[in-house]
Amino acid sequence: MNAAHGCPRDTRGRRFSIPESRRSEPRSRTRIGVSGERIPGIFQNTAVIQIQLPVTNTLRAAVLTSALVMLGYAMACGGRNQSVVAPSPNTSALATDSALFSLVTQTDPFNSYSLFPSVDAVFNGTAFHGPLDRVRMNAKALAALQSGKLPPGTKFPDGSVVFKEILTNGGTTTTYSVMYKDTGNPQAGGGWLWSEFSPSGVVGFPIGNRGAGCTGCHSLGRGPTNDLVRTFERQHSP
């Protein structure tokens, strides 16, 4: 579980937090900026006109109070581990190709996964992934299915792996194509990390590409309703 649950996130999944340099800023430097504003427009060339809005104590107090509330909220969300803006406070995020490779070969090894339900163990792949494919998924991904399908309107949970081996016609595995669900990961594309490796771990397609070159085609067909997983289209009809 992520400790930041409920805190605001930016589009790259990081928690907003206040940089250390600004956290220690003394409150007396808070500027309210109400009086002395200039009016732009037709008077600009003739005279500098200033309006003096009275800054009442009530207004001052209101502004200060809301500033303190926001500061407190930001610190409650961002201050727990004292990490400031970088790197990602999501410490569970996979950051490197080698971390993903060890995940799918050691920590949660693909040869323990289940074959994609209702699909031939080995099938003729598309031109991109051919000639032969074998697709499996880890326990987490499998648990998201009902009767072998992804229930409408749902997505695979974080930690799901859909793993495809590309084989030669002779049955030798030449490539691992991996989709790893990690929605908050800054390197995710469509919620997944996308990568390709040789069986010895040489990176063919790095996660840093964020699925560029993969997500377009995975958004075709029934990809959009199947959380971009296209092997569902290979399932035998009931």
H or E segment and range at residue 61: helix 57-78
Is 42 exposed, middle or buried, given 0-12, 13-18 or 19+ CB atoms closer than 10 A? Answer: exposed
Is 218 exposed, middle or buried, given 0-12, 13-18 or 19+ CB atoms closer than 10 A? Answer: buried
User: Whole-number minimum distance, CB 206 to ligand HEC, in Å?
Assistant: 10
Complex with ligand HEC: residue 74 or 179, whichever CB lies closer? 179
Among 15, 129, 181, 210, binds ligand HEC (CB under 6 A): 129
Complex with ligand HEC: residue 90 or 110, whichever CB lies closer? 110
Structural tokens at position 150: 């992804």
Q: How far apart are CA 188 and CA 169, in angstroms?
A: 32
Contacting ligand HEC within 13-32 (CB under 6 A):
none
Buried b / exposed e over 1-20, threshold 16 CB at 10 Å, is ebebeebebeeebbbebbee
Complex with ligand HEC: residue 14 or 136, whichever CB lies closer? 136
Among 2, 30, 234, 235, binds ligand HEC (CB under 6 A): 234
How many residues touch ligand HEC (CB under 6 A)?
Answer: 23
Binding mask 165-194 for ligand HEC (x = CB under 6 A): ------------xxx--------------x
User: Whole-number minimum distance, CB 100 to ligand HEC, in Å?
Assistant: 11
| Helices and strands, counts by H and E, the chain | 5, 7
Point out which span in 15-23, 61-69, 76-84, 125-133 binds ligand HEC (CB under 6 A): 125-133
- Say whether 163 sits in a helix, a strand or coil: strand
214 binds ligand HEC (CB under 6 A): yes
User: Whole-number minimum distance, CB 115 to ligand HEC, in Å?
Assistant: 12
Residue 176 near residue 182 (C-beta atoms within 8 A): no
Residue 209 near residue 190 (C-beta atoms within 8 A): no
Among 110, 141, 196, 207, binds ligand HEC (CB under 6 A): 196
9 binds ligand HEC (CB under 6 A): no
Q: How far apart are CA 85 and CA 19, in angstroms?
A: 6
Is 192 exposed, middle or buried, given 0-12, 13-18 or 19+ CB atoms closer than 10 A? Answer: buried
User: Whole-number minimum distance, CB 157 to ligand HEC, in Å?
Assistant: 16
Complex with ligand HEC: residue 17 or 138, whichever CB lies closer? 138
User: What are the residues binding ligand HEC (CB under 6 A)?
Assistant: 125-126, 128-129, 133, 135, 162, 164, 177-179, 194-196, 205, 213-214, 217-218, 229-231, 234
